[in-house]
Amino acid sequence: MKYRIVIAEDEPVIQRYNKRIVERNTEEFEVCALCENGEDVLEYLEEHEADVVMTDVRMPAMDGIELIRVLKDRRPGIITVVLSGYQDFPYVRECMKLGSEDYLLKPLKDPVVADTLKSLKEKLDRQRLKHLEQQFEEFIKKGEMAEEFIQWLELNGRDHVLVLLRSGCPHAGSFETLLPVGNPRLFELVKEWGLQELVMAGGRYINERLILLRRGSLRRFCALLEKRAEEMQGKNYYTCIYENLGSDSSRVQEKICLLTKTADEQMVVGKTIMGRPEQFFSRSYTDIDSRLRGKMTALVKGGQWEGLKDVIIELFRIWENEQASLHWIQSEVMDIITLIHMNMGGKQPDFIKKALEAMDGAYVYARSASDILFNLCDFVTEQVNSRREYRKDSKELYEDIRDYVYKNISSNIRLRDITERFYISQTYVNRLFNKYADTSFYDFVLAEKILQAKHIYEENPGAKIREVAQMLGFSDAGYFGKVFKARTGETPSEYAKNIDSSHGADKMT
């Protein structure tokens, strides 16, 4: 559908010239009316719609300045462009102050008109998409479809697809930056990506978007998502399910439900998947059968928490190998939490609530099923600890981790290594070290490595920086040097030289 332009000019010859030059420089606009003055324009707009008014400044009855002033008050959505001669510049300035979009010098020239129309189209496209996005968002929130949106569907629905997109880790790679709902930057992103257009609304979760996309842009959109996922190197993944939109407004909600159901069934933690609902098939996974349920019940009642943890770990290993959907894992985790709660006597009224709060973040931000496992084990550990029925006191756990660091100081110790070895979350590890060592785990490890480096230089002042770095698990000698200086005030070479000097002084005495 073309954008509509009204031209206001009191001289018929110039009217017809302006109409010709506008229409030969664009296929996106049509001149819908030629008016002799401002009053004619307002009369026309009482019964017709228009997107742009191009007006001369000097006209009888109502001039261009007064027309722009009235339009600003009555029809603020209409864009105005001033047509003027060189001698009219003071009037043009007044029009621009009133909010006119641009001005063109008469007589109009093809290149200038073409550039202006291109700029006007971009602005009108933005306005149209923003308005459509607001209506789409309103429909998603309330289920009520505006008449204007229904009309848009009837005209454009067959040319569009409906896309449900979920990001596995919205904080990784900034999902808000990639697809910023309600952000003007989105229009520029769509142009950068080479897409024809994109209308978007937020979904049920912070990591979900519902998108209306031209069918011709679908393949490029999916390719961009795949490229994005590859660039994130496992730190993020996407689930993208799409279906033809169609022009039947009564079926849009049904299609959204189908996309949501498919995404729930197919979303696998850490894996990017894309396709139409009919491309996927139902899958079955290992569930917690009566035998496993009985075994877990006995372990809980007997207070054998390490045994219970082993069972849970094995279940997660199986689910990860089966590429079980996130929705399935959520359901099974809820069963595990309920089983534990009931067999601990069900005397902790906030147990289920706390479990849901603890796991919600894990489901959204997990990069693998193991991340969900760590959060689940950590939650169970903390809850059982609160009843003093589970393993050692947290100080003893801190000492175990500390001793592990001491024994493995020559390796590249990562926080993830600790979470995998002790089956606790990164948050819990840092909480222990802040409580008992008054520092973070990361700073504790670095401090211990630098202490060991100082011992090495004291025993062998001639040791090479690269060798010392390798002995302490630093892959980059330059980084080791920076850390050493930041924590001691001296470079490794300066420290070793001072040690060597003091040894020489000792021998002289």
Q: Is residue 117 part of a domain?
A: no
Do 416 and 380 reside in the same domain of the chain? no
108, 126, 153 — which closes off a domain? Answer: 108
Q: How far is C-alpha 214 from the chain's CA centre?
A: 21
Looking at residue 122, what DSSP letter applies?
A: H
CA of 7: how far to CAs of 3, 54, 100, 122, 346, in Å?
A: 13, 5, 14, 20, 77
- Burial group, residue 46, by CB count within 10 angstroms (0-12, 13-18, 19+): exposed
Whole-number Å distance between alpha carbons of 465 and 471: 10
Q: Is residue 128 part of a domain?
A: no
Looking at residue 81, what DSSP letter applies?
A: E
Q: Is residue 125 part of a domain?
A: no
Whole-number Å distance between alpha carbons of 41 and 53: 8
Q: How far is C-alpha 225 from the chain's CA centre?
A: 12
CATH of the domain at 7: 3.40.50.2300
Q: Are 431 and 424 in contact (CB under 8 A)?
A: no
CATH of the domain at 501: 1.10.10.60
Residue 7 tokens, joined:
């031209």
CA of 363: how far to CAs of 243, 376, 474, in Å?
A: 26, 11, 33
How many CB atoms sit inside 10 A of residue 361's CB?
11
Residue 240: helix, strand or coil by DSSP?
A: strand
For 23, the enclosing helix (H) or strand (E) is helix 12-23
Whole-number Å distance between alpha carbons of 382 and 301: 17
Q: Are 199 and 252 in contact (CB under 8 A)?
A: no
Do 433 and 331 reside in the same domain of the chain? no
Do 170 and 103 reside in the same domain of the chain? no
Sign of the torsion angle spanned by Cα atoms 226, 228, 232, 235: negative
Residue 30: helix, strand or coil by DSSP?
A: strand
Given this model, what pLDDT does residue 350 score? 77
Q: How far is C-alpha 228 from the chain's CA centre?
A: 11
Whole-number Å distance between alpha carbons of 333 and 79: 56
Do 254 and 223 reside in the same domain of the chain? yes
Whole-number Å distance between alpha carbons of 214 and 196: 7
Do 400 and 474 reside in the same domain of the chain? yes
Q: Is residue 148 part of a domain?
A: yes
Do 299 and 365 reside in the same domain of the chain? yes
One pLDDT digit (tens) per residue for the chain, 509 residues? 789 999 999 999 999 999 999 999 999 999 999 999 999 999 999 999 999 999 998 898 898 889 999 999 999 989 999 998 766 677 778 888 888 888 888 889 999 999 999 999 988 988 888 888 888 888 888 888 888 889 888 888 899 999 998 887 655 444 444 555 444 555 566 666 666 677 888 787 777 889 888 888 888 888 888 887 777 666 678 889 999 999 998 999 999 999 999 998 898 888 888 999 999 887 888 888 888 888 888 888 766 778 888 899 999 999 988 889 888 998 999 999 888 888 776 656 677 888 888 787 778 777 788 888 888 888 877 766 665 443 445 787 888 889 999 999 888 888 888 876 665 677 878 888 998 999 999 899 999 999 999 999 888 888 899 999 999 988 888 888 988 998 889 998 888 888 766 655 554 44
Do 147 and 274 reside in the same domain of the chain? yes
Do 302 and 421 reside in the same domain of the chain? no
Do 342 and 253 reside in the same domain of the chain? no
How many CB atoms sit inside 10 A of residue 389's CB?
12
Q: Are 383 and 297 in contact (CB under 8 A)?
A: no
The pair phi, psi for residue 51, each rounded to 5°, is -105, -30
Residue 145 tokens, joined:
């479809």
How many CB atoms sit inside 10 A of residue 374's CB?
23
370, 387, 404 — which closes off a domain? Answer: 387
Q: At what angle do helices 147-156 and 110-142 cross, to 10 degrees?
A: 120
Q: Are 52 and 4 in contact (CB under 8 A)?
A: yes
Do 294 and 269 reside in the same domain of the chain? no
When divided into structural domains, the chain yields a total of: 4
Do 94 and 212 reside in the same domain of the chain? no
CA dihedral 228→366→270→262, nearest 10 degrees, is -100
Whole-number Å distance between alpha carbons of 309 and 390: 12
Do 234 and 275 reside in the same domain of the chain? yes
The closest of 250, 238, 3, 224 to 116, measured between CA atoms, is 3
The pair phi, psi for residue 53, each rounded to 5°, is -120, 120
Q: Is residue 130 part of a domain?
A: no
Given this model, what pLDDT does residue 347 score? 59
Instruction: Give the structural domain span for 474.
Output: 396-505
Whole-number Å distance between alpha carbons of 119 and 111: 13
Q: Are 372 and 329 in contact (CB under 8 A)?
A: yes
Whole-number Å distance between alpha carbons of 42 and 78: 12
Q: Is residue 317 part of a domain?
A: yes
CB proximity list for 205: less than 8 A, separation 6 or greater: 166, 364
Q: Is residue 137 part of a domain?
A: no
Q: Is residue 134 part of a domain?
A: no
Given this model, what pLDDT does residue 179 score? 56
CATH of the domain at 158: 3.30.70
